[in-house]
Structure 1
Amino acid sequence: MFTKYRIPLTALAIAMLTMSAAAQSKQDTEKVTSLDSSVITLAEIWSLDQRVRSDVSLYLENSREFNLRIDSICFDKAIECIRHFGWVTDLRKYNSTHGYLLQALTAVMLHSPHRLMDEDVYSLLRTEAEAGRLHPETLALFLDKYYVIYQKRSLYGSDFRKFLQPPALNPEDRPLSDSLRRDIGLSPLPDSLFRQP
C-alpha cells in the first residue's frame, strides 16, 4: 500500500528540503548582498569623487564646472546610500582591505556643504546623528563649513572657524549657535570661543 506512495512522498520530501535550503541560502545571500552593495556604492562614490581631484588632465578649461557636476552626482549617490544603508560606519569583513571607503561619505559632504542646507538632507543627517551612526561633531563640521564659506561666520565652532578673521565667533550669533548645536545633539559652545566686545 505504501509502495505506490513512496515515490511521491520522497519527491515531496526532497522538494521541501530544497525549498528550505533555498530559503536559508536566500537569507544568507541577502545579508552578503546588503554588505556588498554598501561597499560597492561607497567604492563608486569614493573613486568618482577622488579621481576628479587627482587627474591633472581635468584641470583644463571648464574644470570647475566639471568638478561641480561630479560633486553633485557624488552627493546624490551619497544621500541615496545613507537613505538605504544609514551612515555606514563598519564594513565588517571588508574593513582591513577597504576601510578607507568609510571616508567617502565624509569627503562628499565636505565637498558640497551648500547641499546640506536642504531640509530633507539636514533632517536625514540629523536622524543619523540621533541614531548614533554619524557623530554630532562631524555633522557640525559639515554644517559649519557652509556658514564659513558662504556667510563668513562660524555657528558650530568647528575648525573651519580658523579660516575666518578673526577666528572667534561673533557674540551676536550666540543664540542662533546654541539653538543649532542643540538641534543636532550638542551642547552650546563655551564663552571662550566668542569674541569679547
Structure 2
Amino acid sequence: MHTVNIFKNIIPIIIAATAFYGCSRKHTSKTNVAISEITFKQDSLAFELCKMYGFDQGIRDSKLTFNKKELMPKVDSISFANLVNFVTKNGYPTETLLGKRNIKQECVESAAVAILLHNPHRLVNEKVYFDLFLKEVKKGNIDSNFFASVLDKYYWINSPNKKKRKVFYGSEFGKPCIQTKEATNKARIEIGLLPLKEEEFIDCGQEELNMPKKQIAY
C-alpha cells in the first residue's frame, strides 16, 4: 500500500518531467494551412514517441529525490509495454515511418533506443519480445550492432564478476569469452552479425559465466 501511495504521489512529478523532456512542436501562425494525411499521421506517431521518451527520462531526473530504485522498474515496464504496442501497430521508428523532419528530433529518435536499453531483460528472458524486435532487425529497421548491445547489456549487468563484467554477443559493452565461442557466433549470425574471429574473444578461464547454456536453434 505504501508503494502504491508513493507511486500516486510521484505521477504528477513524472508528468511534469515528461512535458520538459518531451519534444515541443512549433506551430505556424497560419492556422489554415492544410496538413496532408501522411504528415498528420507522422506527426501523431512522433508525438507519441516523445511522450514515451519524456516518461522514460522524467523518472531519471536528478532533481527528483524519491526512491527511484523502487519505482523505476515499474516506470520502465510501462514504457516497454507502450513501445511494444507502438512497434506491433506501426513497426520500429524509422525515417520512412516518421518523416525526415520528425526523426531528427531527439525525443523521437531516442525514445525506442532508451526504452530498449532500460529493459534488456525483457528481450533476453521473454522470447515473444526477442522475436518481435528481431523481426525489425531483419526488416532493416534496427541495426544489428545496436540489437547486440541491448542484449549484451543484460549479461553485462548480471555478470557474476562485477569488476570485469562479461558479455555474450560482443558489442560496445565488451568482448565475449572464448569459452562461449560456438554459442556466441551462432547467436550473432541469428541477429545478422558476422561471427567473431578467435582474436576477437577474451579468455575467461574457469570463471563462472551467466550465459545461455542451450545452443541457438535454427
Normalised by the shorter chain, which TM-score bucket? 0.7 to 0.9
TM-score by length of 1: 0.74
Residue identity over aligned pairs, in percent, reads 29
Check if 1:35 corresponds to 2:42. Answer: yes
Alignment of 1:1-197 (within 5 A): 28-29=36-37, 31-57=38-64, 59-60=65-66, 62-90=67-95, 91-92=98-99, 94-95=101-102, 98-117=105-124, 118-152=126-160, 153-161=166-174, 168-196=175-203
Q: Gaps spanning 5+ residues in structure 1: where?
A: 1-27, 162-167
Deviating 4+ runs (over 2 angstroms): 31-34, 93-100
The alpha carbon displacement at 1:154 in A equals 1.1
What SS does the aligned partner of 2:81 have? helix
Cα separation, 1, equivalents of 2:90 and 2:63: 33
In structure 1, give the amino acid aligned to 2:178: P
The alpha carbon displacement at 1:33 in A equals 4.2
Residues 34 and 100 (structure 1), Cα distance of their counterparts in 2 relative to 1, 3 Å cut: same
Cα separation, 2, equivalents of 1:96 and 1:183: 28
Size of the alignment, in residue pairs? 161
The alpha carbon displacement at 1:99 in A equals 4.6
Cα separation, 1, equivalents of 2:106 and 2:53: 12
Deviations 1:36-69 (A, max 9, x none): 3311220111110111111522x32x32111111
In structure 2, give the amino acid aligned to 1:87: Y
Cα separation, 2, equivalents of 1:43 and 1:52: 14
Cα separation, 2, equivalents of 1:150 and 1:186: 23
Cα separation, 2, equivalents of 1:175 and 1:97: 39
The alpha carbon displacement at 1:100 in A equals 4.0
Deviations 1:130-172 (A, max 9, x none): 00111111111101111111245311111212xxxxxx43211
What SS does the aligned partner of 1:116 have? helix
The alpha carbon displacement at 1:96 in A equals 7.4
In structure 2, give the amino acid aligned to 1:171: I
Q: Which has the larger radius of gyration?
A: 1
In structure 2, give the amino acid aligned to 1:107: A
In structure 1, give the amino acid aligned to 2:72: N
TM-score by length of 2: 0.68
Cα separation, 2, equivalents of 1:89 and 1:81: 12
In structure 1, give the amino acid aligned to 2:171: S
